[in-house]
Chains A and B, each alone.
Chain A
Amino acid sequence: MVSKRWTAAVLSGLLITATLSGCGGDDGDSGSGGGDGKLVLGFSQVGAESGWRTANTKSIQESAASAGVELKFSDAQGKQENQIKAIRNFITQRVDVIAFSPVVESGWDTVLKEAKDANIPVILTDRAVDSQDTSLYKTFIGSDFVLEGKKAGEWLVKDYEGKTDPVNIVELQGTPGAAPANDRKAGFADVIKADPKFKVVASQTGQFTRTDGKQVMETFLKAQPKIDVLYAHNDDMGLGAIEAIEAAGKKPGTDIKIITVDAVKDGMTALSEGKINYIVECSPLLGPQLMDLAKKVKAGETVPQRVLTEETTFTPEQAKAVLAERKY
């Protein structure tokens, strides 16, 4: 009996700590609940599965602090049920705006209806939901992967402007079926198809990882008599491919031009060294835009259903300039 009571005591103690740290947010005065006129934003994050995601979290926390928004942050650890619980908590706490990055696409209708009934506007960040009823959320802010592919293609077209020789391109695709892989491929293909000199001679999946990128590139290098350009759907595969190109005695960036997507720090470093020629950014730093949108929906202003993350592209010179302050 004694031991059972002990366990119960310890467990409830843990629960209290967990709840406290869950609500505490970052500025520590969660108790005020917006009584001081501050906007209260409840945000439920997917988890912390990658450097990209960590940077995403940091951006939201920092921009909330600087925008004077009280942030109630909750980490779903990759589980939808945690996220639904977090959203219900936000509703009970009567936050002003709820934002979340959905773990999966489906199964959100019920909890989003609850938020709507409680008159709390919802903003989706970075990932979409497949609800038919678009009135359940105010707006969706995130990257446009097709556009990213198009930007990559546009640079290539511009770089080879005025030349007529055929350009042999190899492509390292992301995980088959993943939205970023499909869309980046489609956007790129859409732009380069206008000019017949561009030819994708080989396209295979590198699973978004460095090892697969390297191995597939090794085989490309042996199977393809002439490769002019490599287009990789993310930096990591590009970085792996660079190792394969170097091992083959070629110079990445010079003998084979390389375009990648993401602009994480490792990729930017390679770009600044001239090993990558061009990176299309896929930015996790959507915090400032999110705070802006949260304030607008709270004030009752209309916002567009779809907001794109402010993203740019990088050449080696631009990479050198921003590398030092690159956070992720």
Chain B
Amino acid sequence: MNFVRHRLFWPAAILVALLASNIFFSSGFFSITVHDGHLYGSIIDILRRSAPLILVGIGMTLVIATGGIDLSVGSVMAISGALACLLIGDLDNQNSVIGVLLACAAGIVLSLVLGIWNGTLVASIGIQPIIATLILMVAGRGIAQLITDGQILNVTSAPYKVIGAGYTIALPVSVLIAAGMVAIAVVLTRRTALGLLIEAVGGSPTASRLAGIQARRLTIMVYVFSAICAGIAGLIYSSNVSSADSNAAGNLIELDAILAVVIGGTRLTGGRFSLAGTVLGAVLIETLNVTTVSIGIPVETTLLFKAIVVIVLCLVQSAAFRAKVLRRPSRVGASA
């Protein structure tokens, strides 16, 4: 019974239930075949589609762990994808690998600058995170539209397409990129003191400052990390369809990312965080998206269906709720 009390037991159970429900509607749901030398199947689709949300989610997790929030991630995605596509479109040879890499680097560097902007507003100027990042959330989409001139920018670059739609060693490149970034985040926060410091800042900025932690620098760092993650997610998003759509790219992803973080058990008030939980949350959200289409929920009720699943999930995650409904009065405090 010990694993039932694990923080991630309930989200994992819901994920399994969602996946299992697909089998009744689409018999080949779990089949994974090899197709053109890479894996092909619904499960692979879910992983591939989760990649941008996982990236944005782990950045968001660290920001939320410091007690902040980053609403600008969707706009950063749009900007980075738009800049990369603009630069690739200007290349003499769109299939030049170096040119594409430079364009992607430019997108990521610009994201980094935007992260510094967010971090400075929050840490140095002291604006509330929700307001500070709201500025870039609104204005950022304008910047992206300026870059693309309000149009959808198309590119016909084979190397660029690999990032979001390509495969290497039979696995989707986007999933490998996301896994790499998760690994970096885990190593940085769990193998060094960085994670502890971030949790300390989120727990009590004043106490951590008095304890000698450079809270300001740390805060700027997490916003930069979040923006870089969003920038990479933006590249994956635009590469997936070989075009930059500054209106649609990353639209409302900040809310999905916050949901993924919350499902993963990180508290919005800051402090302890779980990267594994966020990854699970992101995969769960995309599984939900695929499931609604796969089992044929009508368009009019799609959002209602998603809402019910999320509400059920949040309720069963609440120890207090479980104690009331399942009549297990003990251990209320244990996992709350």
Contacts and interface: CB of A to CB of B under 8 A. Distances in A.
A168 interface: no
Given A211-B240, A211-B248, A266-B152, A223 B25 contact: yes
B90 interface: no
Interface string A39-69: 0000000001111001000000000000000
B243 A202 contact: no
B45 A243 contact: no
B299 A50 contact: no
B36 interface: yes
A280 to B, nearest CB: 20
B49 A215 contact: yes
B296 interface: yes
Chain A contact residues, majority secondary structure? helix
A207 B26 contact: no
A222 B299 contact: no
B200 interface: no
Contact of B245 (A173, A204, A209, A223): A209
Interface string B40-63: 111001000100000000000000
Contacts of A240: 241
B35 A222 contact: no
A209 B247 CA distance: 9
B150 A51 contact: yes
- Interface SS, B side: mixed
A210 B36 contact: no
Taking residues whose C-beta sits less than 8 angstroms from the other chain, chain A's interface range is 20 to 34
B92 interface: no
Interface in B1-46: 25-26, 28-29, 35-36, 40-42, 45
Contacts of A50: 150-151, 247
Given A236-B152, A243-B241, A219 B293 contact: yes
Contact of B240 (A214, A222, A223, A239): A214
Interface residues of B, number: 36
B12 to A, nearest CB: 22
Given A49-B247, A222-B26, A249-B35, A204 B299 contact: yes
A48 B293 contact: no
A54 to B, nearest CB: 7
Interface in A185-216: 202-205, 207, 209-212, 214-216
Contact of A205 (B243, B245, B302): B302
Contact of A222 (B42, B248, B289, B298): B42
B42 to A, nearest CB: 5
A216 B245 contact: no
Q: Which of A50, A203, A218, A243 has the most CB of B within 10 A?
A: A218
Best-buried of B29, B35, B248 by chain A (most CB within 10 Å)? B248
A214 B238 CA distance: 12
B237 interface: yes
A222 B41 contact: yes
Interface of B: 25-26, 28-29, 35-36, 40-42, 45, 49, 150-152, 154, 165, 237, 240-243, 245, 247-249, 289-290, 292-296, 298-300, 302
Given A51-B151, A207-B248, 13 more contacts: A54-B150, A54-B151, A176-B300, A202-B296, A204-B293, A209-B248, A210-B241, A210-B248, A211-B249, A219-B45, A223-B42, A248-B35, A266-B152
28 contacts: A49-B150, A49-B247, A50-B247, A54-B151, A173-B299, A176-B299, A204-B293, A204-B299, A204-B302, A205-B299, A210-B241, A211-B241, A211-B245, A212-B248, A214-B241, A215-B49, A215-B289, A219-B42, A219-B290, A219-B294, A220-B293, A222-B294, A223-B26, A236-B245, A239-B241, A243-B165, A249-B36, A266-B154
Interface of A: 48-51, 54, 173, 176, 202-205, 207, 209-212, 214-216, 218-220, 222-223, 236, 239-240, 243, 247-249, 266
